Structure 1
C-alpha cells in the first residue's frame, strides 16, 4: 500500500504546514523522472509513520515556495516541527536514511 499525500498549493499553505508538530514535505517537478520514480517509494515508507503529516509541493506550480525553502535540486524531502527544519535531503535521496530519521523522530515524540 501507498500512503496518500496532501498537495500544497501556495506559500501560505506551506507556512501553515511548517508549523505542524511532525511534517514531511516532498518537493518535485513535473519533468523530473527521478521525482516520479522516488515518490511511490516515499509513499510506501510513509505507511509506517501515520503520525507524520505528509505533503507534496510541485516546484512548477508553487515556484515561490520552492524558492522560500531554498531548494536548488530536486527531488527534495524536508521535515519540519513547529517551524524548525529538522531534516533535508535532495537529489540523491536514500530511503533507508529517511527511514532511520523518521523512526528516531517519531520515537522521540511519544
Structure 2
C-alpha cells in the first residue's frame, strides 16, 4: 500500500494543494468508514506514483474543516496547482475515484 504524507498544518496543506496533481484524504479517528476506505484509496494511489498523496486526521488538525468547508468525513479532494478539481465525500466509490484520477492525469499531461 502506498504511504501518504501526514498533513497537520495550513502550511503543509498549502504545499500539497499547490503540487501539479495531488490527492488529499480527510478522515476522523472515530469514523469506521474512514478506516475501512483508507487502505482502498492507498491501493489505488499505488498506480499513481507521480501524484502527491496526503492524509489529514481532523482530530489533530481541526482548522481544516473551516479552511476547506468540510462538513462530513471521509472526504477525498483532488487539487492541481492550488485549484480544487474534485471533491467526493461520505459515500466514496473507489472505482469512480480511480476513473476521475485517470481523467485528470491525462488532462495534466497535455
Whether the TM-score (by the shorter chain) exceeds 0.5 is: yes
Give the TM-score, by structure 1 length.
0.95
Match of 1:103 in 2: 102
Segments of structure 2 that go 5 or more residues without pairing to the other structure are none
1:57 Cα deviation from its structure 2 partner: 0.4
C-alpha distance in 2, partners of 1:44/1:66? 26
| Aligned-residue CA RMSD (Å) | 0.8
C-alpha distance in 2, partners of 1:93/1:67? 21
Residues 1:8 and 2:4 aligned together: no
Matching of residues 71-90 of structure 1 within 5 Å: 71-90=70-89
1:24 Cα deviation from its structure 2 partner: 0.3
Matching of residues 1-110 of structure 1 within 5 Å: 2-110=1-109
Give the TM-score, by structure 2 length.
0.95
Instruction: State the 4+ residue runs in structure 1 displaced beyond 6 angstroms.
Output: none
C-alpha distance in 1, partners of 2:64/2:8? 9
Segments of structure 1 that go 5 or more residues without pairing to the other structure are none
1:9 Cα deviation from its structure 2 partner: 1.2
